[in-house]
Amino acid sequence: MSTAFSSTVDTPFGPFTAVVAGDGAVLASGWTASLDDLLPQVSPSLRPASLSDRNDLGAVTRAVRDYHAGDLAAIDDVPVRQRSGEFMEQAWTALRTVPAGKPVSYADYALLAGRPSAVRAAASACARNAATLFVPCHRVVRTGGAIGNFRWGVEVKRRLLAHEASAA
C-alpha cells in the first residue's frame, strides 16, 4: 500500500484518530492522538509506505462525529480493511453485526464468528482489532456483564456502552 491519511478529532471520550487508505477504508482507529498507538496494529501487508495528516477524512470523520453525537448507525457502512488469518477476519466481520446497545458475551461472540468453542480466539480477535469503533469490539463483554479489557481503557469502554445504551 502506498499512501494513507490520518486525522484526529476531539470526542467526548478523548481524541480519536483514524488511519485511512486512499480508497477511504479504515486501516486503524482509536481513542488516541498518537499514530504510534495505531500503526503497529495494522497488518504489515496493509501498512502504508507514507502517511499524510489531514484535517478531515470525509465520510470517516463525519461518521466519527455523528456516532459521538448519537447517530450510532453512522459507523455501520464505513469500509474497513484488516488482514490476518481466516478466523480473525471472520470474527472482525461478525463484530460488525453486533447491534449498538446490545453487547454480547465473548462466548456469544465466538458463536457469531462461527466457532462456539473458540472463546479465547474470539477474545484475541477483539484485542487485535485495529479498526476500533468501526469494528465495535467494545460491544463484547464478559459472561455476566463485566466490562472486560479494552485497548483504550476500561473507562472509555464503559462510557461507549452507556452512550449506546442511552441512544439505542
Which of 2 and 93 is assigned the larger pLDDT?
Answer: 93
The per-residue pLDDT for 81 is 97
6 vs 157: CA distance, rounded Å = 23
Q: Which candidate in 137, 140, 156, 160 is catalytic? A: 137
* Count of helices and strands (H, E) across the chain: 6, 6
Note whether 20 and 6 are within 8 A (CB). Answer: yes
The predicted-structure confidence for 47-91, as pLDDT tens digits, reads as follows 999 999 999 999 999 999 999 999 999 999 999 999 999 999 999
- 134 class by beta-carbon count within 10 Å (0-12 exposed, 13-18 middle, 19+ buried): buried
Residues in the chain: 168
94 vs 57: CA distance, rounded Å = 25
Grid cell for residue 87: 478466523
Q: Is the model's pLDDT at 152 over the cut of 60?
A: yes
The predicted-structure confidence for 12-26, as pLDDT tens digits, reads as follows 999 999 999 999 999
Predicted model pTM:
0.95
Q: Is 126 a catalytic residue?
A: no
Q: Is the model's pLDDT at 135 over the cut of 70?
A: yes
The predicted-structure confidence for 123-134, as pLDDT tens digits, reads as follows 999 999 999 999
